[in-house]
Amino acid sequence: MSTTPQATPRRATITDVAREAGTGKTSISRYLNGEMSVLSPELRARIEAAIARLDYQPNQMARGLKRGRNRLIGMLLADLTNPYTVEVLQGVEAACHALGLMPLICHAANEVEMERRYLQLLTTYRVEGVIVNALGVREETLRPVGSGGIPVVLVDRMVDGLVTDMVGLDNRAAAELGARHLLDNGFDDIWFVVQPFEQVSSRQLREAAFREVMSGQGGKGHEGGTGGKREGGRAGSNRDGSEGGVRGHTLVLNLGDQAAVERALAELDHAIDASGNPTRTAGRIALFAANAPVALCLALHLKARYGADWQARVALLSIDDPEWAELTGVTAIRQPTYEIGYRAVEFLHERIEGVQTTARDCLLPGELIVRASTLR
């Protein structure tokens, strides 16, 4: 060790500094809060020295207790396993850093109960606001924060009955973009594969938009304001659309249930096997994954079943652009994840500072990245 170990290196307090500088605590406090104009240069110098000598660092907890704000915000994540989450997190981190906020990260790991507990814990730390990538849909879950008067901004999905700022992908436009791309490239049998979506607004919107395009009525419109809920199909169910003979299906893939996944994949296999000659583009099925986890699950399965050359048999397009998409040549719609995180913090910051406008929705556009997978 290069430093002499000290006995009980109790951190210096404002009182210590005051004594060391031969002055009162008030002046130290003033110095800390940048009220320089009210301090004689002489005193100021002494304080500076004392602080340095004692390696003093003001206790944020105490400050927070006193002034009622501690610069802490909560960030509740549904699933760290999803690359999307991590990317958003980076934007959040950056924004926090820029705005002088400190994020408390909580990982609900897909368990609603955890989500509830963490929310409660966060209020206990008196965070000034919370960014939530919600798992549960019930406003009830958000009660601890929502009604507690502490600002909330939602990311990616909304929660019924809760009106707050939210920022995320323009799901409608993204799904349309993807569906159109597939249609334009001659695919006439398209499967939209998505996790159970009754509970998640973003999935709902994507599925609905896909279905609309497939049924030929796909307008170019943006998402509606608070986005009406829509009854989703049950697992394994699928509806057929029609745009000049093209077929569109929705396949639900419940990643949390191994058995269900296998059932759904079997259904898919059946369709693929029946899709006839792989060289006929018109006969090549296209899969439209609603997000990266789904896309990965599909890719892994297809590779296992059809070998390394699986893409010759099936085309894959994914919302989300995971790092392996480029590597495997899978077409993707990249979400502006970093910006989503950044904006979320900005919104929250404004609320914390007292902005009172009505709830805002910030819908950011996705970017289509065409790769070999969806080209003939």
Residues that bind its own copies (CB under 8 A): 1-3, 6, 8-9, 11, 57-62, 64-65, 70, 80-81, 86, 89-90, 93-94, 97, 102-107, 109, 114, 120-121, 123-126, 139, 143, 147-149, 161, 163, 296, 299-300, 303, 308, 322-324, 326-329, 372
| Minimum CB distance to DNA smaller for 39 or for 255 | 39
Residue closer to DNA, measured from CB, 58 or 329? 58
Binding site partner of 80, from its own copies, DNA, none, Cβ cut-off 5-8 A by kind: its own copies
Name the segment binding DNA (CB under 7 A); options: 11-19, 240-248, 321-329, 357-365: 11-19
Handedness of CA 51, 54, 60, 66 (dihedral sign): negative
Which entry of DNA, its own copies, none binds 261, CB below 5 to 8 A by partner kind? Answer: none
C-beta of residue 186 within 8 angstroms of C-beta of residue 192: no
| Distance of closest approach, residue 125 Cβ to its own copies, in angstroms | 5
* Closest to 169 (Cα-Cα) out of 342, 355, 340: 340
Q: From the list 45, 48, 49, 59, which residue makes contact with DNA (rule: CB under 7 A)?
A: 59
Indicate whether 66 belongs to the interface with DNA (CB under 7 A): yes
Shorter beta-carbon distance to DNA: residue 45 or 300: 45
Task: Enumerate the β-bridge partners of residue 364.
Answer: 169
| 232: nearest Cα among 246, 250, 256 | 250
29 binds, among DNA, its own copies, none (CB under 5 to 8 A by kind): DNA
Closer by beta carbon to its own copies, 158 or else 246: 158
Nearest-CA neighbor of 335 among 210, 174, 205, 202?
A: 174
| 247-252, strands of its sheet edge to edge | 247-252, 189-194, 285-289, 314-319, 331-334, 367-369
Q: Which residues does 324 contact at the CB level (< 8 Å), separation at least 6?
A: 296, 299, 330
- Write down the residue that tokens 């943006």 correspond to: 222
The CA distance from 238 to 251, in Å, is 6
What backbone torsions phi and psi does residue 306 show, to the nearest 5 degrees?
-110, 5
Cβ proximity to DNA: between 28 and 179 the closer is: 28
Question: Binding partner of residue 114 among its own copies, DNA, none, CB under 5 to 8 Å per kind?
Answer: its own copies
Query: Under the criterion CB under 7 A, does residue 70 sit at the interface with DNA?
Result: no
